[in-house]
A and B are shown apart, each in its own frame.
Chain A
Amino acid sequence: MIVQALGVRTVDDLSEFGTDPWWLSLIKAVLIFVFLLLLTLFNIWFERRVVARMQHRAGPNKNGPFGLLQSLADAMKLMLKEDIMVKAADRLLYVLAPVISVIMAFLAFAVIPFGPVVDVPFTDRQTPLQLTDLPVGVLFVIAVASVGIYGIVLGGWASGSTYSLLGGMRSTAQVISYEVAMSLALVAVFLYAGSLSTSEIVNAQQRLWYALILLPSFIIFWVSMVGETNRAPFDMPEAEGELVAGYFTEYSSMKFAMFFLAEYINMVTVSAVATTLFLGGWRAPWPLSLWDGANAGYWPVLWFLAKVMMFMFVFVWLRGTLPRVRYDQFMALGWKVLIPVALLWTVAVATIRAMTLDGGLDRRVLVGGALVAVLLFLLLSIVGERAPKEEPEAEEQPFDPFAGGYPVPPMPGQRLPRPEPAGVVPGGAQPDQEDDTARRSATEEGD
């Protein structure tokens, strides 16, 4: 090892990438899987406990210490369940969908840095705590996430069920909308770091976390990562009250467990990406960073994990606090707020950066540019107010409860006929029903 020969070993020296022997890569890959599987088991327990605490309940506390083994027991139970494949399913794609979901969820972790260069125990080797460092790391993460959409589309489509299809469609539209906002929010980070490589972005945050100087980007990213993972309050794809369970309605046993696993790993993945890009990755937070040893050895893994768990806690907190938003509100937030703001913010950051880099620009030009930006923003907001046209009130139409041969709910403008209570003669004089009819006529007048 050259680095050792020179006797130089800085915490930031990542020049050892690509020199790992194959067995070390394999060990790291297996370790990532073990780490993610254990973290998933922990996170499910964590979520249930925290939500329970927020609702003044105890949560799972029977299996193992503090109920920690509860998720393991659940996973084993799912393993023992009968695997039902519905007859209407497209068999190959039905099996393929959860597999795509789960492998793509793992894949993004290949480029996440867990820590600096460390000594490998029992050998004289050194290796960075990152599986691989691609110069296009963040693009890789986004591309992998976009392939992960196929798990949802195919799962929804291949089940041959209306609920699954609707859930899958909703989920896909949601994920692709928020992926745009997410990618646009990242541009500002690349502007400052000058690279798409995750390790270089972490190194560029030695002095200042990007969450502080690029706060709008961070907020946009945070909101869109909740949307991207289909979590509450943006969990319309699996809205129990409307769609049973969304795209995995027809899944059972291990295949269901895989979708479940993929959802939790995706939460960890986006949290890890947010940590890496905005919170300085594995670098120790401020008071700790005064200690020299904080950014060396295996300690950074702890800081990294703490930051990821912070995001996980907020995921759970949101779920425990906020009601589900309506789908149109959600899409409006994505396309009318997050994306325009991300675009404007990108231009603004580029201007500010060019100013600090190049210096000497006439102040009048800047003021002019700012004015144009403000005007553009005003234009956008005015446009937004005009656009939503009130839907004309539908005319009253007769309601056919069996239109097309199937039982259907009333359309807008149709009214559900009030069933007459069985066994009651209209105007009959049963004393205990009198109240009821009186109340009903009162509400009808109220309408």
Chain B
Amino acid sequence: MPTAAAASIFPRLTRMDGYYGSYVPVLAIIVVGAVLVTAMFLGNRLLRPSRPSPEKQLTYESGVDPVGTGWAQIHLRYYVFAYLYVVFAVDAVFLFPWATVYAGLGWVTVGEMGVFIGIIAVGLVYAWRKGVLAWT
């Protein structure tokens, strides 16, 4: 069993210095990234020309003068898909911890998750039947 072997050979790495210590490198990446971005912007500022003119600062609309504002109203279907995303993201974050513990819980937990997924799947089937999934 790869799982059991992995668990016994590699103990959890969340010791005291481990837990906060393991997030220090994440912070380091963010800091180095911020430094890099700043350096890129600074270098850009030093090197680039800057001659703004009203024509340059117009919004691009394929060569014709822009009409109205760019902030158009979007279609409702984007909202419905974002909603579906929220539902399935919640579904996924429950699947993750389940996947790590189910080996010790046996058939009962498979059934429980089956019911959970089944009910969510009903939602997907409903959306399908109503034609929401078709991007018109």
Whether chain A touches chain B in the assembled complex (some CB pair under 8 Å): yes
Instruction: Give me the interface of A with B, judged by CB distance under 8 Å.
Output: 12, 14-15, 17-20, 22, 25-26, 28-30, 32-33, 79-88, 99, 102-103, 106-107, 109-110, 131-135, 139, 146, 157, 159-166, 169, 172-173, 176-177, 179-180, 183-184, 187, 190-197, 199-200, 203-207, 244, 249-250, 253-254, 257-258, 327-328, 330-332, 335-336, 339-340, 343, 346-347, 350-351, 353-354, 357-358, 361, 376, 379-380, 383-384, 386-389, 391, 405-407
Between A106, A139, A254, A391, the greatest number of chain B beta carbons within 10 A of the residue's beta carbon is seen for A254
- Report yes or no: B13 in contact with A133, Cβ–Cβ below 8 A: yes
From known contacts A25-B28, A169-B78, infer whether A80 and B13 are also in contact, taking CB-CB under 8 Å.
no
From known contacts A176-B81, A347-B117, A383-B125, infer whether A82 and B2 are also in contact, taking CB-CB under 8 Å.
no
Q: How far does the alpha carbon of A384 sit from the alpha carbon of B130 in the complex, in Å?
A: 10
Q: How far does the alpha carbon of A389 sit from the alpha carbon of B134 in the complex, in Å?
A: 9
- Report yes or no: B32 in contact with A33, Cβ–Cβ below 8 A: yes
- Report yes or no: B2 in contact with A206, Cβ–Cβ below 8 A: yes
From known contacts A19-B17, A200-B10, infer whether A84 and B2 are also in contact, taking CB-CB under 8 Å.
no
- Report yes or no: A12 in contact with B9, Cβ–Cβ below 8 A: yes
Can you name 24 A-B residue pairings with CB atoms under 8 Å?
A12-B10, A17-B21, A18-B22, A19-B21, A32-B29, A80-B47, A88-B59, A103-B30, A110-B29, A131-B29, A134-B22, A134-B26, A173-B81, A193-B3, A194-B6, A200-B6, A204-B2, A207-B2, A254-B40, A339-B124, A376-B121, A379-B125, A380-B128, A383-B129
Q: How far does the alpha carbon of A26 sit from the alpha carbon of B30 in the complex, in Å?
A: 11
- Report yes or no: B134 in contact with A332, Cβ–Cβ below 8 A: yes
If A17-B21, A33-B36, A343-B121 are given as contacts, then 19 extra A-B residue pairs at C-beta distance below 8 Å, sorted by A number, are: A18-B19, A86-B59, A86-B60, A87-B54, A87-B57, A107-B30, A132-B25, A161-B59, A162-B72, A180-B84, A183-B96, A191-B99, A204-B2, A244-B60, A339-B88, A350-B114, A380-B128, A383-B128, A406-B68
Contacts of B31 in A (CB 8 A): 29
- Report yes or no: B28 in contact with A103, Cβ–Cβ below 8 A: no
- Report yes or no: B2 in contact with A387, Cβ–Cβ below 8 A: no
Contacts of B26 in A (CB 8 A): 107, 110, 131-132, 134
- Report yes or no: A194 in contact with B100, Cβ–Cβ below 8 A: yes
| Distance of A22 from chain B, by nearest CB (Å) | 7
Q: How far does the alpha carbon of A12 sit from the alpha carbon of B8 in the complex, in Å?
A: 12
Contacts of B136 in A (CB 8 A): 328, 391
Q: How far does the alpha carbon of A335 sit from the alpha carbon of B129 in the complex, in Å?
A: 13
- Report yes or no: B3 in contact with A131, Cβ–Cβ below 8 A: no
Q: How far does the alpha carbon of A112 sit from the alpha carbon of B102 in the complex, in Å?
A: 25
- Report yes or no: B107 in contact with A109, Cβ–Cβ below 8 A: no
Q: How far does the alpha carbon of A177 sit from the alpha carbon of B87 in the complex, in Å?
A: 11
Q: How far does the alpha carbon of A376 sit from the alpha carbon of B117 in the complex, in Å?
A: 12
- Report yes or no: B48 in contact with A82, Cβ–Cβ below 8 A: yes
Contacts of B28 in A (CB 8 A): 25-26, 29, 131
Contacts of A83 in B (CB 8 A): 44, 48, 50
Q: How far does the alpha carbon of A270 sit from the alpha carbon of B10 in the complex, in Å?
A: 26
- Report yes or no: A350 in contact with B110, Cβ–Cβ below 8 A: yes
| Distance of A10 from chain B, by nearest CB (Å) | 9
| Distance of A16 from chain B, by nearest CB (Å) | 9
From known contacts A176-B81, A183-B89, infer whether A18 and B13 are also in contact, taking CB-CB under 8 Å.
yes
| Distance of A156 from chain B, by nearest CB (Å) | 10
- Report yes or no: B60 in contact with A25, Cβ–Cβ below 8 A: no
- Report yes or no: B43 in contact with A135, Cβ–Cβ below 8 A: no
- Report yes or no: A17 in contact with B22, Cβ–Cβ below 8 A: yes
Q: B16-56 toward A: CB 8 Å interface, digit per residue (1/0)? A: 01110111111011111110110011011001111110101
Contacts of A391 in B (CB 8 A): 136
- Report yes or no: B70 in contact with A203, Cβ–Cβ below 8 A: no
Contacts of A389 in B (CB 8 A): 131
Which residue of the partner chain A has the closest CB to B106? A358
Q: How far does the alpha carbon of A347 sit from the alpha carbon of B99 in the complex, in Å?
A: 11
Contacts of B15 in A (CB 8 A): 18
- Report yes or no: B14 in contact with A135, Cβ–Cβ below 8 A: yes
- Report yes or no: B89 in contact with A165, Cβ–Cβ below 8 A: no
Which of B9, B24, B57 contacts A25, CB < 8 Å?
Answer: B24
- Report yes or no: B41 in contact with A160, Cβ–Cβ below 8 A: no
Q: How far does the alpha carbon of A191 sit from the alpha carbon of B71 in the complex, in Å?
A: 45
- Report yes or no: B107 in contact with A361, Cβ–Cβ below 8 A: yes
Between A102, A180, A203, the greatest number of chain B beta carbons within 10 A of the residue's beta carbon is seen for A180
Contacts of B25 in A (CB 8 A): 20, 25, 28-29, 110, 131-132
**Top 3 nearest A-B pairs by Cβ distance?**
A190-B99, A194-B3, A18-B18
